[in-house]
Amino acid sequence: MKKLTILAYLFMNNAEARSLKATADKLASETTRIGLGLALFGIGLAAIYFMIGKQDAGIKLNHALFGSFVLLASPTILGFIKGLV
């Protein structure tokens, strides 16, 4: 039932899109917003690991920062790839 609710929300949310490209662009922007939230959560979790003294805190922070960088740079990367085609 939960999957149907999520699916119905996505279809209703994208109902005003006139084309498949507009729908894909809108979904990409929503995915980026969700990704930024998760990236901030990961950075916060890595900071907590630093505070409690876990051994792998540096690696976790490095992964979270690298993931955030890739997420923030993704529009530029996509633009560059589209320019090659």
Kindly state whether residue 62 falls inside one of the protein's structural domains: yes
SS3 42: helix
From residue 11, alpha-carbon distances to 2, 6, 7, 37 in Å are: 14, 9, 6, 23
Q: pLDDT value at position 9?
A: 66
Q: Are 49 and 43 in contact (CB under 8 A)?
A: no
Our count of domains for the chain comes to: 1
* 7 within some domain: no
Q: Contact, 67 vs 82, CB < 8 A?
A: no
Cβ contact 32:67 at 8 Å: no
Look up the domain containing 53 and give its range. Answer: 25-84
71 within some domain: yes
Q: What is the pLDDT of residue 51?
A: 93
Q: Dump pLDDT digits (tens) for 68-83.
A: 998 888 888 888 888 8
Q: Give residue-wise pLDDT tens across range 5-36.
A: 766 666 665 555 567 777 777 777 788 888 88
pLDDT surpassing 70 at residue 2: no
pTM (predicted TM-score): 0.61
For 29-57, what is each residue's pLDDT tens digit? 788 888 888 989 999 999 999 999 999 89
In a domain, 3, yes or no: no
